[in-house]
Amino acid sequence: MNTAADTVLPPVTGAWREGDPVGARRFARLGPLRPERGGELPDVTLAYETWGRPAPDGSNAVLVLHALTGDSHAAGPAGPGHPTAGWWDGLIGPGRPLDTDRWFVVAPNVLGGCQGSTGPASPGPGGRPWGGAFPLLTPRDQVAAEALLADVLGVGRWAAVIGGSMGGMRALEWAVTHPGRVGSLFLLACSAAASAEQIAWSDAQIQAVRNDPGWRGGHYHDAPPGRGPHLGLGLARRIAHVTYRSEPELAARFGRAGHDGRFDVQDYLDHHAEKLVRRFDAASYVVLSDAMNAHDIGRDRGGVAAALRRVRAATLVAAVDSDRLYPPSQQAELAGGIAGADGLRVIRSARGHDGFLAETEQVGALLRELLA
């Protein structure tokens, strides 16, 4: 059912932009960065949020890395500057698994993102948004920016680096690229390298955005409301969301129920598409999806097995048993290849890939074990 908000034209971008409410964000200017695949970012900014207080020696810092459409707002309510509540709100805070009376928790918005970090909606050379001219990125580029952020924050070594899905890719890159800077590691629902099937699903979403007439080669950010590639971004979200959930869950929740000539599951996908186009940027979705496709921990390192041998951190690897996008066999490869991994842990959930976000009790128990 449409609400009053649904009848308002969608914004040309859901990106955070200069002049919008800052909320709990902080900003770090990190200087220039040259992405692996060419181009240059002359003045990188990362938005980030923190909880707790850093120890004088920086030894209690924990890095939490978000998934594709997440951001730095890992904990806290929705409000000005934050259209949704924290995506791991139940896990971060006093007495919670990421206990902020003990740990200094840092969550950055990824490079290429759209919630305060340098990305396609940010001003480029000349002051206009980068748009389609934004450089291609890899997870290693994103970790390079996060390492500069750690330097700014005075964190020489993270007590733990934690991430699921796209965040897990970056967490793994941290442990391989900077093994001396990662004390412990938590990898959820991620892989050592993007598989052909994952690339195929992602490419369908990228093409949905790029084939929207409002895409305009990625240079749409100055268009009026309703004229951006929101139809393509909504279609991409519909495709993605099916891969994020499990078939048994969708069958149990919706079956063939419907009304007015439509199935309830279609309304469900419409709802998630509408939400995303109002809080995210289509060009960031393309840039980040492309970066995920480029994920390969073994590239230029002698292969996956050799790369995983670089990890020195005590490691927990967790799979979601119903995950059809990042199946447990991929996490088993990580657990078997990292010397410091304590076997493969399995999160029981009907919710598919999204179980790493939804099953907070199970994830919280693993976090407490890692940080004990």
CA distance 240 to 242: 5
Contact between 237 and 209 (Cβ < 8 Å): no
In the block, tokens 């500057």 appear at: 81
Of 82, 290, 353, 354, which is the active-site residue? 353
Number of H helices, E strands in the chain: 11, 12
3-state secondary structure 167-235: HHHHHHHHHHHCHHHECEEEEECCCCECCHHHHHHHHHHHHHHHCCCCCHHHCCCCCCCCCCCHHHHHH
Is the backbone of residue 144 left (phi > 0), alpha (psi -120 to 50) or beta?
alpha
Render the burial of 329-356: b for 16+ CB within 10 Å, e for the rest.
Answer: ebbebbbebbeebeebbebebbbbbbbb
Do 353 and 165 contact (CB within 8 A), yes or no? yes
| 271 is annotated as an active-site residue | no
323 catalytic? Reply is yes
- If one counts every other C-beta atom within 10 angstroms of the C-beta of residue 3, the result is 9
191 catalytic, yes or no? no
On whether the CB atoms of residues 49 and 26 are closer than 8 A, the answer is yes
In one letter, which amino acid is 220? Answer: Y
Which residues fall within 8 angstroms of residue 368, CB to CB, at 6 or more apart?
97
Give which of 175, 184, 174 is closest to 315, Cα–Cα.
184
The residue from 141, 212, 323, 354 that is catalytic is 323
What is the spatial distance between Cα 342 and Cα 322, in angstroms, rounded to a whole number?
21
The residue annotated as part of the active site, out of 72, 117, 122, 165, is 165
Distance CA(240)–CA(353), nearest Å, equals: 11
Reading the block at residue 248, the tokens are: 């048994």
**Residue positions annotated with a catalytic role:** 165, 323, 353
